[in-house]
């Protein structure tokens, strides 16, 4: 490999190097500027925890109900599933009927899962989800 071939290859990385230098400079400049304009005096108000302007009434390490996490998981599951529809929509004209049927099956599976979650409900708690699985394994219901 001769020097004439190496220089054009290295010149392709110049925009990346500039970006890294500018990003590093910006980060360091922001930290230095914040330190320059910050107050060195600490008082009781600055040392208090801040929760959206409201004084905290309980400890930050309180326990939350499992229902809170179940609702959050259901939201994430059904929210993330919609992300799979965007690439499909981009190439829909290439997939034709096969793509349409494939997406209808996908949506049907989502609707069945959503219906199950709606019927069981995270408000009923994980205990009811587990007992329904055990009942189904035994072949009966309670």
First CA to last CA across the chain, in angstroms? Answer: 77
DSSP count for the chain of H helices, then E strands: 7, 0
Q: What's the confidence (pLDDT) of residue 20?
A: 97
What Å distances lie between residue 4 and 8, 12, 13, 17, 139, CA to CA? 7, 14, 16, 21, 76
pLDDT tens per residue, range 25-82: 999 999 999 999 987 777 777 777 776 777 777 777 778 777 778 888 888 888 888 8
Q: What's the confidence (pLDDT) of residue 142?
A: 45
For residue 19, is pLDDT > 90?
yes
This prediction has a pTM of: 0.43
Instruction: DSSP for 81-124, please give it.
Output: HHHTHHHHHHTHHHHHHHHHHHHHHHHHHHHHHHHHHHHH-GGG
Separation CA 75–CA 81 (nearest Å)? 10
For residues 85-96, average pLDDT: 88
Q: What's the confidence (pLDDT) of residue 86?
A: 87
């Amino acid at each position: 490999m001769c020097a004439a071939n190496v220089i054009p290859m290295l010149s392709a990385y110049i925009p990346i190097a500039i970006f890294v230098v500018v990003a590093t400079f910006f980060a360091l400049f922001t930290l230095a500027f914040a330190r320059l304009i910050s107050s060195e005096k600490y008082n009781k108000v600055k040392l208090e925890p801040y929760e959206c302007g409201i004084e905290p009434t309980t400890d930050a390490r309180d326990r939350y109900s499992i229902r809170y996490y179940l609702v959050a998981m259901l939201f994430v599951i059904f929210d993330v599933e919609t992300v799979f529809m965007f690439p499909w929509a981009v190439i829909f004209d290439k997939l034709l009927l096969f793509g349409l049927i494939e997406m209808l099956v996908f949506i049907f599976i989502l609707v069945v899962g959503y219906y199950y979650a709606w019927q069981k409900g995270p408000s009923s708690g994980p205990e009811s989800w587990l007992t329904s699985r055990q009942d189904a394994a035994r072949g009966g219901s309670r």
